[in-house]
Structure 1
Amino acid sequence: MSQMTGAVAPHLKHPELYIGGQWEQAAGGKRFDTENPYTGKTWARIADAAPSDVDRAVNAARAALDGPWGSMPGSQRARLMIRLAELIERDLEAIAAVETADNGKLIKDSRWQVTLIAEWFRYFAGLADKIEGRVVQDANPAMFVYTRREPIGVVAAILPWNAPLLLLTFKLAPALAAGCAFVAKPSEFTPASALALAERFHEAGFPPGVFNVLPSSSRETSAALVKHPGVDKVAFTGSTATGIAVAQSAVSHLARITLELGGKSPQLVFEDADVDAAVNGVLAGIFGGTGQVCHAGSRAFVQRSIYQAVLDGVVARAKTIKMGDPALVETEMGPIATAPQFAKVQEILGQAVQEGATVACGGGADDGLGGYFIRPTVLTDVKAEDAVMRGEVFGPVVCMVPFDTEEEGIAMANDTPYGLASGLWSRDVQRVHRVAKRLKAGTVWVNTYRRFAPNVPFGGMKASGIGRENGIDAVLEYTEQKAVWIELTPQSRDPFRV
């Protein structure tokens, strides 16, 4: 990796499997390389879990549930989670350096996300001893009925490469609060930060088997984990097509599922919006994170009277975005995280031009930087049916389209199979509430974009997923509800007499 300014060099102390509180070699001793997307070179060699390792991890998780973790009160779980948050904050620089080396994320973004995950563990620690049932009134006064929430059991998480540690935390923190045990399978492109978290998890003193990590380059390993009969719930973040396949595998043994899937999120800019703020919002929505976020604002619809002003502002700023080494604090946009995704974005851009799109800026790879760099790209003259308007690009590419009326803008925004997020730019408070109600998306950001908090639910409608992450509801996603009936009289009734 190149010399970094203001950051420590990346180092992974334990590039092995983490199973049952121990660092283990993979079955057969296999390893695989993980690549730095900025340099295109291997920076770490990771143990490569085989399908036979899945049994060991799931059994370790089950043993934790049957042992000290399963009997631990929520207040004690909370103390361990708070200790984990403290260790994450202590080692913020080291963890951020690992994430940037493995993923190509800007070091300032990695630091920000590591800071966030400490907040996430603290928030959900506060819920660990507040999971409650309720008393239900029955028509028969001799019956006492109540409900209780219990941990769903062993959770398997299949993780993406775009924000590996943050999206792991979205699942792990509420699962721990609920009392579940966890097996994580990170992406083969970005396995390192999950192992870096496991190092701090180990130091925090959690019982063995509560958290297990199975890095692997094999799809068979992921499939074996999802299909394992000892897994009670599968949590997945990734593409819609893969999410459907994961759900079908999980349902084969009736495992519960949470799916956070793809998006084609609109930014809807009305003529009464602050133009400068809207320009910044469009920029943040698509070029932040190099466009490699499920909620990327990849379709910008702008009312015609201000369309040219917004377009000019976005193009002018996009042309000045500083690309380069993500480990340098002055860099504003890093590389695409993987070689296959780099090739896919270029293919989509080529098809867009063939279908008639005009390239207002960018439009392809930046060959002068090395690594997997796509120039910030703004497309105009696109049609609703074009591939670049229908499918996820997952790169720094925004399509800008004018509209005339509020009704037309809403229809354009909703014309997508996805429904993860949306942006709304207006200073008319009545319009804001009116339009927000009609946008078919799990999140509506108004005069802002890319805001998250541990206490605010996040998830999609339509093809963007099932269930919610974050907030109190996320803990409930990791529980099962049980009803308990108690006869209060000393004798039971003869079932054959009225």
Structure 2
Amino acid sequence: MRQLYVHGAWVPSSSGDGVDVVNPATEEVVDRVPAGSAGDVDRAVSAARAAFPAWSATAPAERGRFLAAAAELLESRAEDVARTIAVDMGAPYSVALKVQTLMPAGVLAEYARLAEERAEAGHRLGNSLILREPAGVVGAITPWNYPLHQVLCKVGPALAAGCTVVLKPSEVAPLAAYALAEIFHEVGLPPGVFNMVSGHGPVVGEAIAGHPDVDMVSFTGSTRAGRRVAALAAETVKRVALELGGKSANVILPSADLRAAVKAGVANAFLNSGQTCSAWTRMLVHRDQYDEAVKLSVEAASTYTIGDPFDPATRLGPLVSALQRDRVVRYINRGQEEGARLVAGGGDRPLERGFYVEPTVFAGVAPGMAIEQEEIFGPVLSIVPYTSADEAVDIANGTPYGLAGAVWAATEEEAVTVARRLRTGQVTINGGRFNPSAPFGGYKQSGIGRELGEFGLDEYLEIKSLQF
């Protein structure tokens, strides 16, 4: 069994218990990590608290050098890390390499740059000097769907800002976080600056969120779990950043290139087997084009070959666990019970082994159905008709979430006009590329705060004013 990383060393958990790591494509146990205890969290937080004065006083350029060295080492090991992620959570190897490993390496490299670039002695405002200082000890609680990217979206800016960190990676897919801890150790990050305690959310996660010596907690996961984290954090009035669920709408206006919009929309909905909080899981199409859009979606879905993540032909890997597969299947069944038409996929055991679900498309989806309102977190696309732009905006805004979305139109101006009316944190215009420097986060029950780029760094900085 692996160990915890505390105060610059690998140490056993006081619990003695462990969690099996299962390859979702083969259903085989491939590793075992500690099921940490509240006592382990105490040790890690104490190490982070002791390291904070020196790390926060370290010159920003020096902090940046540590992060840059880690980013370079991660990039040099990208193929090995990607293989680990493909085994750990089932992403096809090409996705594990480009999206799950190289993109996070770029995020870490950017925070290495921002550590120095954003350093400032303060600025004057009237008779005041405005300063930005590190928030303190940060508890980072991360999910399994992007097991390295989500870690670096928190750890990168926290370390760049001068904070120290206690990380709890998901026990479902923890191995990428272990690879990162090894990298931080090899580049000589001072003991206690980065600590990692693996284990279950109700034990380790809750101990971090409620710990009186944790100054800030940053959580990514379900809205339900986010509420619990926020409630625990409120007991000590600590800073909270939450990146939660989504039910994003892909609004295709009548003037758009329908074929291109549908193809891109299906690809976005099925990326990472649909296990993406910002996935465009609702495709909104004008009634005059609805039948054609359904036909095109079914054609696109048929190209998503299920199989071994290491087979180059595979476009859709397994879901991360049997629990997640069963959850998705329940939603597929519920969609049919509520009257939606299953026009593609829906099968839950297309291969002899592995937690696979076929790429699934629903037509005849009405606002208010469970599959239209609730986050499924699987390869399930709902196609919803509308009759006017106003109705499309109402449908798009008609869920508790507001994380992402897309708008397609003949002109950028037309698309932007609709995009500005969507109550959501990010909107893709006519297939624009994801920008890892732009702020990522949501409105409503999709969370609090932003990640990535300078906006992500700001989350880990307190603001102080000195009056003269």
- Normalised TM-score (structure 1): 0.91
Q: What is the number of residues matched between the two proteins?
A: 465
Asked whether 1:421 is paired with 2:407, we answer: no
Give yes or no for contact 1:265–1:295 (8 Å, CA) kept in 2.
Answer: yes
CA–CA distance in structure 1, aligned partners of residues 200 and 64 of structure 2: 34
**Aligned twin of 1:78:** 64
Question: What are the within-5 Å matches in structure 2 for residues 202-351 of structure 1?
Answer: 202-217=185-200, 219-351=202-334
Please state whether the residue corresponding to 1:108 is helix, strand or coil.
Answer: helix
| Distance in 2, Cα, partners of 1:479 & 1:217 | 28
Q: State the alpha-carbon separation in 2 of the partners of residues 357 and 298 from structure 1.
A: 15
2:439 aligned with 1:475 = no
C-alpha deviation, 1:375, in angstroms: 0.6
SS in 2 for 1:149: strand
C-alpha deviations, 1:413-441, integer Å up to 9, x for none? Answer: 11111100011111123311210110111
CA distance in 1, matches of 2:59, 2:231: 34
Correspondences of 1:416-455 after superposition (within 5 Å): 416-448=399-431, 451-455=433-437
1:335-382: per-residue Cα shift (whole Å, max 9, x none)? 011111111111111111111111001113134342111111111112
Which residue is 2:78 aligned to? 92
Counterpart contact for 2:397–2:422, Cα < 8 Å: yes
**CA shift at 1:218, angstroms?**
5.6
* Matching of residue 373 in structure 1 with residue 353 in structure 2: no
Contact preservation (8 Å) 1:286, 1:398: yes
Query: What pairs with 1:352-391 in structure 2 (closer than 5 Å)?
Result: 352-391=335-374
Question: 1:382 & 1:218 partners in 2: Cα distance?
Answer: 34
Q: Is residue 7–residue 192 contact of structure 2 (8 Å, CA) maintained in 1?
A: yes
Aligned match of 1:5:
none
| Residues 446-485 of structure 1: CA deviation (Å, up to 9, x unaligned) | 1116x43332000000110000001212111101111112
Cα drift, residue 103 of structure 1: 0.7
Checking the alignment, whether the CA contact within 8 Å between 1:324 and 1:369 is kept in structure 2 is no
Whether the 8 Å contact between 1:349 and 1:364 is mirrored in structure 2 is no
Q: Tell me what 2:30 maps to.
A: 43
1:134 aligned partner, one-letter code: H
Deviations 1:80-100 (A, max 9, x none): 111001100111111111111
Whose radius of gyration is greater, 1 or 2? 1
Amino acid at match of 2:150: L
Partner AA of 2:52 in structure 1: L
**Which position in structure 1 is the counterpart of 2:105?**
118
* Alignment RMSD: 1.3
Q: CA contact under 8 A between 1:277 and 1:447: conserved in structure 2?
A: no
Shift of 1:393: 0.5
For residue 222 of structure 1, give the secondary structure of its aligned residue in structure 2: helix
Alpha carbons 2:274, 2:377 under 8 Å: kept:
yes
CA contact (8 A) 1:128 1:177 kept: yes
* AA aligned opposite 2:29: T
CA separation in 1, counterparts of 2:382 and 2:215?
Answer: 41
Structure 2 Cα separation of the partners of residues 20 and 212 of structure 1: 6
**In the alignment, structure 1 residue 53 sits paired with structure 2 residue 40:** yes
Whole-angstrom distance in 2 between the partners of 1:87 and 1:219 = 33
Q: What are structure 1's unaligned runs of at least 5 residues?
A: 1-13, 139-144, 487-498
Contact 1:20/1:209 (<8 A) preserved: yes
Is the 8 Å Cα contact of residues 393 and 421 (structure 2) preserved in structure 1? yes
Contact 2:278 2:404 in 1 (8 A): yes
Superposition deviation, residue 329 in structure 1: 2.3
Aligned to 2:123: 134
- Secondary structure at the aligned position of 2:29 is classed as strand
Q: State the partner residue of 2:467.
A: 485
Distance 1:28 1:250 in 2: 24
String of CA shifts for 1:41-96, please: whole Å, max 9, x gaps. 100011221111001100111111123x2321000011111100110011111111
SS of equivalent to 1:373: coil
Contact 2:412–2:429, Cα closer than 8 Å, also in 1: no
Pairing 1:399–2:382 present: yes
Bigger drift between 176-185 and 28-37 goes to 28-37
The 3 A distance-change label for structure 1 pair 177 and 218 is closer
**Cα distance in 1 between the residues matched to 2:132 and 2:115:** 12
Question: Which residue of the other structure, out of 441, 465, 483, is the alignment partner of 2:447?
Answer: 465
Q: Tell me how far apart the structure 2 counterparts of residues 420 and 284 of structure 1 sit (CA, whole Å).
A: 18
- SS of the aligned residue for 2:342 comes to strand
SS at 1:463 equivalent: helix
Partner of 2:176: 193
Question: CA separation in 2, counterparts of 1:407 and 1:218?
Answer: 41
1:376-423 Cα offsets, whole Å, 9 max, x none, are 111111221211111101001111122121111111111111100011
- 2 CA distance for matches of 1:253 and 1:57? 18
Q: Secondary structure at the match of 2:420?
A: helix
Which amino acid in 2 is paired with 1:105? A
Q: Per-residue deviation at 1:196?
A: 0.7
Tell me, in whole angstroms, the C-alpha distance in 1 between the residues paired with 2:16 and 2:399.
46
Structure-2 residue corresponding to 1:105: 91
In structure 1, distance between residues paired with 2:208 and 2:253: 47
Paired AA for residue 284 in structure 1: A
Specify the code of the residue in structure 2 equivalent to 1:131: A
Measured in 1, the distance between the counterparts of 2:141 and 2:382 equals 30
| Equivalent position of 2:10 in the other structure | 23
Structure 2: unaligned runs, 5 residues or longer: none
**Contact 2:45–2:214 at 8 Å: present in 1 too?**
yes
State how far apart, in whole Å, the 2-side matches of 1:367 and 1:116 are: 31
Secondary structure of residue in 1 paired with 2:5: strand
Deviation at 1:29, TM superposition (A): 2.6
Letter of the aligned partner of 2:77 in structure 1?
A: D
Question: Normalization by structure 2: what TM-score?
Answer: 0.97
